[in-house]
Chain A
Amino acid sequence: MARMSQKRKREAIAGYLFITPNLFGFLVFQLIPIAVAIVLGFTEWDLINEPIWVGFSNYRNLLKDPVFQLSVRKTLYFVLVNVPVQSALALLIAILLNRSIRFKNLIRTLFIVPWVSMAVAVGLTWTWIYNSQFGLLNEILVKVGLDKIPWLAHPDWAMISVIVVNIWQFLGFHIIIFLAGLQMIPREVEEAAIVDGASTLTRCFRITLPLISPVLFYDLIVNVIGTFQIFDLPYAMTGGGPGQATRVYNLYLYQKGFQFLRMGEASAMAVMLFIIIGITTAFFFRVVGRRVNYDLT
């Protein structure tokens, strides 16, 4: 009994030691700034003068703000379309690219490339491709005798057009995660299944997917958290327009903080986003996380 607790103690000390560097960076560069932001959420701060304590009034104002409500809806839509399509597509490509095909390394690399290209150029390039009057896509449509499509020009199209670019740009990120996950599957397990005569599809659903479920789970969580905070592409491509069509949450938050000099409200928005994402993630941890097969043996 005493030996057991001795081992426990050693294990705990080792645990703390292993997380020390990480925890240090976390405390200084993450937790303190976040604590500050939470406090600022209760103030009115124009970035120039001292913050003034206003209690919950930022929160009350936000809940009444129609643009705020709109940006929540836009963001939810973005998440609901982007996450399933992006993750499923990436998983499919990763599984296909995990087989032995010729030029495997080259093809894999090429599928991942959009993700490593300079983000600054991505928005610029795609707005040019989408341009309703002079863009490449509409040029092709007209050539084959179809009507032009107002990709970024019409509120009904703009959001989906931006989502497509987002899926395209970060597909490589998810492919890479899935590929790494697939590599962790011990070959023996697959071989055993082949010997047992399982079909490709059965192997995929019965063996591959359950075995990489911690990685699938990781990808889902990271994708949800990341997509809720989408900012760069709508900012670069549409500025939230036309009208309010692509004004997602984080874009509005940024404008509030840096353009409108209402950092207090922006901070309150950040806390509300935290709550929204937190609830969503907690839901996934409860419902999906439990079914994730953590232990292989």
Chain B
Amino acid sequence: MRKSIVLLVLLALVVASGTAGAQKVTLRYMFWDQNQQEAYAASIDEFMRLNPDIEVVMELAEWNDYWTKLTTGMAARNLPDVFWGHAAYFSAFVARGALLDLQPLIERDNIDTSIYYQSLLDFWSYEGAQYGLAKDWDTIAFFYNKDLFDAAGVPYPSDDWTWNPQDGGEFVRTLQLLTLDDQGRNALDPNFDPKKVVQYGLGDIGGANMQAGWLNFVWMNGGTGVLDKPYGSKLVMNEPECIEVLQFWSDLVNKYHVAPPPEATVAGGSPWDLFTAGRFAMVPAGSWMLTAGRSIEAFSWDVVGMPWGPAGRYSAFNGLAHNIYAQTPHQEEAWRLLEWLEGYESQKIVAEYGCVFPAIGELVPTFLEAYAGRDPENVAVYNDMAENTGTWPMHVNWNEIFDIIQRELDMMLQGFVDAETTVANIEMQVGHLLQ
């Protein structure tokens, strides 16, 4: 009796796999953000309903693992057909020919690319070819803990607040009032003990935090950024505007004592963990952090835009896109999946889950609706931050260049060297990589 059941099950499996294998194409889809899994599963289910000849298998890998898998897969020529692209590796991959040029397909199928933000499309183009449409976008703002502001008797930051690299302005004064030592004295108190801080005004200012951190302030001070232009071969961190900001950034830690050194916000005890634990009154946060913010229960919080700097208000404006592996055996099917995922219907499904801002401007209100009636009240500020955006550094050796920048900046932020020396050190090391 039991044996026959086993046989039956086996038979059913054979039949099932046989028929499935007959006409269905299986596409592998790899991504890294668990927060978006539900939304994309819903979208892909719909895709499979509309395209019964394609089966999509979703593969989730954590951020670091994701890149190990992707690079190994490339080497072995066994890669997911469609996967998420990111600025960190895009330029390296595209310059080495790992990604499929979508331009011919876009033209063939008359895809209307005008529905996307142009700067997002530019992001995914390289030497006249287009390697992605646009999946989403993000900007930077500050999350702040309302309860800590109330406790310190400090009014909530307003949208027109300011900073400057000389004395820090309103921005630093706010942070000083919110930085407390173990006796409850704030950083403006003459008896304040910077060695025994229990609560910092600001968290997350490591060298690695370029996107949500120092680069925005460089732009707001009138600096160009890191490289003269995307894929440029000139390092422009030696501009006085940039050095001034880097020194200011170091002052936040070492002079004003309103932010912890980068080491205090590594793996165990990430800036986010410490913000949710009430150790930081504010953290710079990309809009992708909004989903994580939903789990905050212990205090109420809101978002405020970047403070206005001498040259205005800037934010990084970035986004992801789906990429197709250049060597995929299922190019046509992969393109159909990509076309669907970046298309209006799918972006609408995803936007309703409220995880990331949709790359199609028209759908932004749908996304914002997901936040109606819950923190943060001021979520729309992320949309305002998209008005002024700086130039994102891209380079075929970017990972290697950034590794150097980040290490040197960390040494500066820990208070071992000043900004000018730091930039000189960086220049010395990246020279050969820029050619």
Chain A residues at the B interface, C-beta cutoff of 8 Å: 46-49, 123-135, 142, 147-148, 150, 152-155, 236-244, 255, 258-261, 263
The binding surface of chain A is classed by DSSP as: loop
Residues of B within 8 A of A126 (CB): 268
Residues of A within 8 A of B22 (CB): none
- Considering only residues 260-295 of chain B, those with a C-beta below 8 Å from chain A are 260-264, 266-269, 274, 279
User: Complex: how many Å from CA A124 to CA B96?
Assistant: 35
Given contacts A242-B263, A258-B67, A260-B397, contact A124 B407 (CB under 8 A): no
The binding surface of chain B is classed by DSSP as: helix
A-B contact count (CB 8 A): 99
User: Complex: how many Å from CA A130 to CA B266?
Assistant: 11
Given contacts A47-B75, A123-B268, contact A260 B411 (CB under 8 A): no
Residues of B within 8 A of A236 (CB): 267
**Distance in Å: Cβ of B74 to nearest Cβ of chain A:** 5
- Indicate if the CB atoms of B261 and A261 lie closer than 8 Å: no
14 contacts between A and B (CB under 8 A): A48-B74, A48-B93, A48-B97, A123-B267, A124-B267, A131-B263, A131-B266, A132-B261, A133-B261, A240-B407, A241-B407, A242-B407, A242-B410, A244-B407
- Indicate if the CB atoms of B399 and A260 lie closer than 8 Å: yes
User: Complex: how many Å from CA A159 to CA B400?
Assistant: 23
Residues of A within 8 A of B72 (CB): 47, 258
Residues of A within 8 A of B408 (CB): 243
**Distance in Å: Cβ of B102 to nearest Cβ of chain A:** 18
**Distance in Å: Cβ of A254 to nearest Cβ of chain B:** 9
Given contacts A261-B92, A261-B96, A263-B75, contact A238 B407 (CB under 8 A): no
Asked if B197 is an interface residue, CB under 8 A from chain A, the answer is yes
Closest 6 CB pairs of A and B: A128-B268, A127-B268, A153-B263, A133-B264, A47-B75, A48-B96
User: Complex: how many Å from CA A132 to CA B182?
Assistant: 15
**Distance in Å: Cβ of A242 to nearest Cβ of chain B:** 5
- Indicate if the CB atoms of B403 and A259 lie closer than 8 Å: yes
User: Complex: how many Å from CA A238 to CA B267?
Assistant: 8
User: A256's closest neighbor in chain B, by CB?
Assistant: B400
Residues of B within 8 A of A47 (CB): 71-72, 74-75
- Indicate if the CB atoms of A238 and B266 lie closer than 8 Å: yes
User: Complex: how many Å from CA A234 to CA B260?
Assistant: 21
Residues of A within 8 A of B279 (CB): 134
Asked if B37 is an interface residue, CB under 8 A from chain A, the answer is no
- Indicate if the CB atoms of B407 and A243 lie closer than 8 Å: yes
- Indicate if the CB atoms of A152 and B263 lie closer than 8 Å: yes
